Amino acid sequence: MIKVTRDHFTCAHSAADQPAAYVNSGDCVEIETYDCYKCRLLPEGTTFDDLEPGCANPATGPVFVKEAMPGDMLRIEIRKIELGPVGIMDVGPSSGALKEFFPDRVIKRIPVKDGYIHYGDSVKVPVKPMIGVIGVAPAGEAVSTVTPMDHGGNMDCTKIEEGAVLYLPVFVEGGLLSTGDFHAIMGEGEVANCGLEIEGKVILKLDVIKNFHTEWPMIENEKQWITIAYGETLDEAADKAAKQMFLFLKECKGLSDVDASMLLHMAGDMIVCQIVNPLKTVRMEVPKQLITQMAEERCR
């Protein structure tokens, strides 16, 4: 298996990045990551003054997938996520719904062991590992790893987890996939500023898909299809997520306009992924079983 260490990292998804590794479609790759602070806050006593200027959310990569060309989809199966031993959480005046209550930064270092987050002496929270940043290179200008767009990036979606499959549209030759910003756990919406930020490793299986294409990220898991959309406001992101799922149901699953709309009425769940990044992200979830039933009904 090809392994990419975290000394190969980028602070922006860019077509100009030099690949850290080359793989074939169907290969697995192990990627080692920093936390979103490049692990600079792990030592006791360190503060935000110790952070590296100009680089938030370092993402390891990029990985060049040899068969990937613009117009393809990159199928990314998340085989395994390993977490480091200590996570970081902080609150402060810079972002989130609670920033008015925290004029000064507060940093907590929280042990992660045996599948649990140990918050103090008595509170144990089961881990729920997820990937905050994962994206390919956009076709145009570089996009910071702090920002989510159609290439993926800092989506902060809790459904990008072990066992899920993420689909990303390919905009440049090789795709140029990078990932980082793991969380041991994160509440939906990432309302207060961050998840439990943590270093780690992930094993990804990468496949190039030639006969399935959308212009936006999608997730498939055992029970759902999910679209992820971004916007300057939550309203904009929500409208995009709904329209993208509607188009997916029509164009990829063969439902009529009416059936696709009615399915969203009955079983489409819209969930806020995060409100703290420069662009907000919202996802739309639909049960696979109902999509199949609606498609079968249409064929009768």
3-class SS letters over 90-116: EECCCCCCCHHHCCCCEEEEEEEECCE
Residue 59 vs residues 112, 268, 299: alpha-carbon distances, Å? 22, 32, 45
Tell me: do 200 and 83 sit in the same domain.
yes
Q: What own/partner pairs with CB < 8 Å and gap ≥ 24 does 114-121 have?
A: 117/87, 117/184, 117/185, 117/196
Residue 182 vs residues 21, 72, 209, 225: alpha-carbon distances, Å? 20, 26, 26, 22
Tell me: do 197 and 246 sit in the same domain.
no
| pLDDT number for residue 294 | 85
- DSSP H helices, 219-285, are 234-251, 257-267
What are the backbone angles phi and psi of residue 140, rounded to the nearest 5°?
-100, -130
Q: Identify whether the C-beta of residue 167 lies closer than 8 Å to the C-beta of residue 218.
A: yes
- Residue partners of 191: CB distance under 8 A and separation at least 6: 96, 97, 98, 275, 276
Q: Which residue, 247, 278, 84, 76, is CA-closest to 181?
A: 84
161-182: pLDDT as tens digits: 999 999 999 999 999 999 999 9
The last residue of one of the domains, among 209, 234, 264, is 209
Tell me: do 285 and 142 sit in the same domain.
no
> Based on the structure, what is the number of domains in the chain?
2
Tell me the pLDDT of the chain (300 aa) as tens digits: 999 999 999 999 999 999 999 999 999 999 999 999 999 999 999 988 888 777 889 999 999 999 999 999 999 999 999 999 999 999 999 888 998 999 999 999 999 999 999 998 899 999 999 999 999 999 999 999 999 999 999 999 999 999 999 999 999 999 999 999 999 999 999 999 899 999 999 999 999 999 788 999 999 999 999 999 999 999 999 999 999 999 999 999 999 999 999 999 999 999 999 999 999 999 999 999 999 998 876 665
Query: Where in the sequence is the domain holding 70, given as residue range(s)?
Result: 2-209
Tell me: do 144 and 285 sit in the same domain.
no
Q: In this structure, what token pair is assigned to residue 89?
A: 């959480």
Q: Identify whether the C-beta of residue 61 lies closer than 8 Å to the C-beta of residue 178.
A: yes
CA angle 138, 140, 142 (to 5 degrees): 65
Peptide bond into 278 cis (omega under 30): no
Q: Which helix (H) or strand (E) holds 198?
A: strand 197-198
What SS3 class is residue 136?
Answer: coil
| pLDDT number for residue 299 | 63
Tell me: do 103 and 160 sit in the same domain.
yes
Tell me: do 190 and 229 sit in the same domain.
no
Tell me: do 198 and 62 sit in the same domain.
yes
Tell me: do 124 and 256 sit in the same domain.
no
Q: Identify whether the C-beta of residue 183 lies closer than 8 Å to the C-beta of residue 195.
A: yes
The CATH number assigned to the domain holding 87 equals 2.60.120.580
- Residue partners of 210: CB distance under 8 A and separation at least 6: 72
Rounded CA separation 117/108 (Å): 12
The full DSSP string for 201-226 is EEEEEEEEESS---SS-EEE-SSEEE
Tell me: do 192 and 46 sit in the same domain.
yes
Token match 């998804």: residue? 13
Token match 């590992």: residue? 129
